[in-house]
Amino acid sequence: MCGIMGYIGPRQALPILLDGLRRLEYRGYDSAGVAVLADGRIETRKAAGKLAVLESAIADRPIAGRAGIGHTRWATHGHPTEANAHPHGDCTGRCVVIHNGIIENYLPLRERLQAAGHRFRSDTDTEVVAHLIEEALEAIPSGRPDRMEAAVREAVRQTRGAYAIVVMSADDPERIVAVRMISPLIVGLGPDETLLASDIPALLPYTRDVLVIGDGEMAVIEAGRVTLADLDGRPVARRPEHITWDAAMAEKGGYPHFMLKEIYEQPRALHETMMGRLDRDDEVTLDGVALPEDLVRRLDKVWVVACGTAFHAGLVGRWLIEHLARVPVEPDLASELRYRDPLIVGRTLAVAISQSGETADTLAAAREARRRGSRVLAVTNVVGSTLAREADDVLFIRAGPEIAVASTKAYTTMLVALQMLAIHLGLRRGTLASARAAALIGALRHLPLQAQQALERSAEVEVLARRWVGAEHAFFIGRGLDYAVAMEGSLKLKEISYLHSEALAAGELKHGTLALVTPQTPVFALATQRTVYEKTISNIQEVRARGAEVIAVAYDDDAEIAKYAQTVLRIPPTDDLLAPVLAILPLQLFAYHVAALRGHDIDQPRNLAKSVTVE
Ligand code: F6R
C-alpha cells in the first residue's frame, strides 16, 4: 500500500522524508510527493513515477524547513499522475493531507463540498479530507488551542473507511496531526525530534523507540513529544516499544517472508475488496463497472481470460456466474486463446483477470476479445496498469501490493471480486432471487473474520508440512468448486516447494492417474461442496484403498470426514459458493511451510518472475 513519512524536529525535514520514503519502496508505489513547512508557508513537490523523478523535481526547486510530510502513492482512486499524488491541499493551500487506505464515502462528500464552493484539483478520495478540515476550521474560533485536532476529528467523523491520515497546517506549524482508522501508523521517538511512518523500516535509522497508534486514535506530534487521544479527545496512555528487528525483517512486518506476510494480510485485504460494495443486502455496487442494461440482460456469453493463479480464480468465477446469472461462461487460458480461432456469438462480455494488469498473454487476449467485438471488463489489482487503462470496465481487487512471486492475497481477493460480480449480474438479470442474494452478501461479509480464524490454525499445517517435507509427489482432488481450488493448491505447492504435484477432478482419478497413487503420495481432498459430498467421499475411498494418505479440507461442522481422511484441515463453515476463499488458506500455508523447511527462496522461486510481460 501507500507509504507515509513525517518529521518534526531540529533537522532539515526533506532529506529525512525522502530517506524514509525510500525505505518504504518495497511496498510498491506509482507516484510520490512531499510537503515542507517553510517560512510560514507550505511548499509541495510531487511527481508521477519513482522517487528519483520526485528528487529531480526537488533538485530544481529545493525546500528548507524543519517539519514535513511525505507519501508514496499506490493508486486506488484516480490514475497515478502528478495531480493525484499526495499531499493534497485545501482551497487555501495552508493545510495539506496525506492518506493511506480508502475513504469509502468520498463521492457524496466531494459532491457536497463542491456544491459549497470547494475547488478540487485531483480525482482522489484523499482530497475530500483536506476540504473537510478546511470547512471545520472555519467553524472553530481561531484562538482555540486544540483547533487543529478539533477540525481533524470533525473531518474524520464524516468519513467512513479503513485509512490513516496525516495533516499539517501552516497556521499550526509546531505540530502534525495523525489519525489511524485500521491502516497502520507508527510514531518514532527521538530525544528532540518526532517521526511518523506507515511502517517501521522507515523509522529505524532515526530511532528504535516507537509508539504504535491504535485504531480510532489521534496522535499529535511535536518536536520530541507525542500526545495520544481517542476520537473524543480523551487521552490515551501507551508505553513506547523498543524495536530489535533488523531492517530486512522490519520490511516484512516481522514475518520471515513476504509470502507469509501476504497470507496473513488476507483478512484485511478481503475486507477492503468488499468495502463500499456490499452496503445493502439487495445490491452489489461495483465502482468502475458500468455495464449497459441491454448487454447485461441479453448476454450470450461471458469469456474469462487469464493465466496461472488468475486463471484458477476465473474457474471459480465461471461456476458462480453460470450458477447465479445463468449465462454460459467460457474460461480460456490467455496464452491459448490467442492461437485458436475463437467463436464470438452474439453479445459477449470478456472478463480479463490479472493481478499485475501487465501479463502479456492476458493483455493480448483482452485485445483479441475486443477486436472481435466483446466489451472487456478487467479484474485487476493495479490502478493505472495497461489492462486497467485499456478495459471498458475495471473491478479493482484492492489487495494492496503483492511482492512475493507466489500469489496469495490477490487470488482470494479475485475470488471475492468475482463472487460480487456474479451476484451483481444475477440480480440485474433477474436470475438470482433477492433472498438468496442477501444470504450470499451476508456470508461474504463474514469471510474476513472466518479467514482470520482459518489462519489461526497454522500450527497444525506446519506439523503436516514436517511430515511430508520429503515427499516427491502430491495430488489434489476435488469436485466442482473444490476442483478449482485443488488446481490453485497444487500450483502453490509446485512453485515454491518444487515438489511435483497434480490437481485432478476427483472423478477423473480412476481414468488413469490412480496408477501413480502410492502410500508415499499425500492426497489432498477438498470436501466443501455439499451437493457432491458423497461422491467426493467415494473418491477418497478409492485412494485410501491404494494405501495413500488423505488430508481433507473440510468445514468445522463436518462430523463425517474424519472417518475417511487421516488428517482434516478445518475451515469455518460458509456458503458452498464462497468456500474457495477459505479452503485455499490451509493449502497456501502448507506450500509455504514445506518450502520453508526445504530452505527455498520463497519470495523469489527459481525460474519465476512476478510479472510475466513476455509471451
Ligand atoms: C502464481 C502466480 C502466477 C500468476 C500469473 C498471472 O502464484 O502468481 O501464476 O498468477 O503469472 O499473473 P497476473 O495475475 O499478474 O496476470
Q: Residues spanned by CATH 3.60.20.10 within the chain?
A: 3-251
Q: pLDDT tens digit string along 192-219? A: 999 999 988 899 899 989 998 988 999 9
Query: Which three three-digit cell numbers place residue 472?
Result: 516427491
Instruction: Assign domain 457-597 to its CATH architecture.
Output: 3-Layer(aba) Sandwich (3.40)
Gap between the Cα atoms of 55 and 32, Å rounded? 10
The amino acid at 101: G
Q: Quote the DSSP letter at residue 314.
A: H
- For residue 312, the ligand 1 atom closest to its alpha carbon is 10
Q: How many beta carbons lie within 10 A of that of residue 144, not counting itself?
A: 11
Contacts of 387 (CB under 8 A, 6+ apart): 352, 354, 357, 358, 359, 362, 363, 366, 378, 380
Which of ligand 1's atoms lies nearest the C-alpha of 414? Answer: 14
Quote the ligand 1 centre to 227 CA distance (angstroms): 44
Write out pLDDT tens, residues 306-365. Answer: 999 999 999 999 999 999 999 999 999 998 887 788 877 789 999 999 999 989 899 999
| Rounded (10°) angle between helices 409-429 and 308-325 | 20
Nearest CA to 517 out of 478, 558, 545, 490 is that of: 545
Q: Residue 68: CB within 6 Å of ligand 1?
A: no
In tens, the pLDDT along 400-436 reads 888 899 999 999 999 999 999 999 999 999 999 999 9
Question: What are the tens digits of pLDDT across the range 292-315?
Answer: 999 999 999 999 999 999 999 999
* Secondary structure class of 4 (helix, strand, coil): strand
Quick: pLDDT tens for 39-68.
899 999 999 998 999 999 899 888 999 999
- Ligand 1 center from residue 536 Cα (angstroms): 29
DSSP string, 477-512: EESTHHHHHHHHHHHHHHHHH--EEEEEEGGGGGGT
CA 383 to chain centre: 12
Within the chain, all domains assigned CATH 3.40.50.10490 are found at 260-450, 457-597
Output the CA 351–ligand 1 centroid distance in Å. Answer: 16
Index of the ligand 1 atom closest to the CA of residue 309: 10
Which DSSP helix (H) or strand (E) runs through 69?
A: strand 67-73
Q: Can you give the length of the chain in residues? A: 615
Which residue, among 11, 197, 212, has the nearest Cα to 98 in the 3D structure? Answer: 197
Neighbours of 358 (CB within 10 A): 18
In the chain, the percentage of residues whose pLDDT exceeds 90 is 78
**Close Cβ partners of 438 (under 8 Å, ≥ 6 residues apart):** 281, 282
**In whole angstroms, what separates CA 60 from the centre of its chain?**
36
Per-residue b or e along 285-316, where b marks 16 or more CB atoms closer than 10 Å to that residue's CB = ebeebebeeeebeebebbbbbbbbbbbbbbbb
Place of cell 504435484: 501
Paired with 568 in beta bridges are 552
In this prediction, residue 549 carries a pLDDT of: 94
Q: What's the CA angle centered on 430, arms 427 and 433, to 5 degrees?
A: 70
Cβ–Cβ under 8 Å, residues 365 and 338: yes
Q: What is the residue-wise DSSP string for 553-567?
A: EEETT--SGGGT-SE
Report the predicted TM-score, pTM, of the whole model to 2 decimal places: 0.80
Q: Which of 263, 354, 402 for mutating ligand 1's site (highest number of atoms within 8 Å of CB)? A: 354
Whether the Cβ atoms of residue 194 and residue 219 lie closer than 8 Å to each other: no
Per DSSP, the residues of 235-253 read: B-----EE----HHHHHTT
Residue among 355, 361, 402 to mutate when testing ligand 1 (max atoms within 8 A of CB): 355
> 117 in the Ramachandran plot: left (φ > 0), alpha (ψ -120 to 50) or beta?
left
List pLDDT tens digits, range 3-42.
999 999 999 999 999 999 998 887 778 899 999 998 899 9
> pLDDT-derived band of residue 161, with 50, 70 and 90 as boundaries?
confident
Write the CB contacts of 143 (distance below 8 Å, at least 6 apart in sequence): none
- The CATH class of 3-251 is alpha beta
Beta bridge partners of 181: 163
Fold topology of 260-450: Rossmann fold (3.40.50)
pLDDT recorded at residue 1: 59
Q: Would you call 485 helix, strand, or coil by DSSP?
A: helix
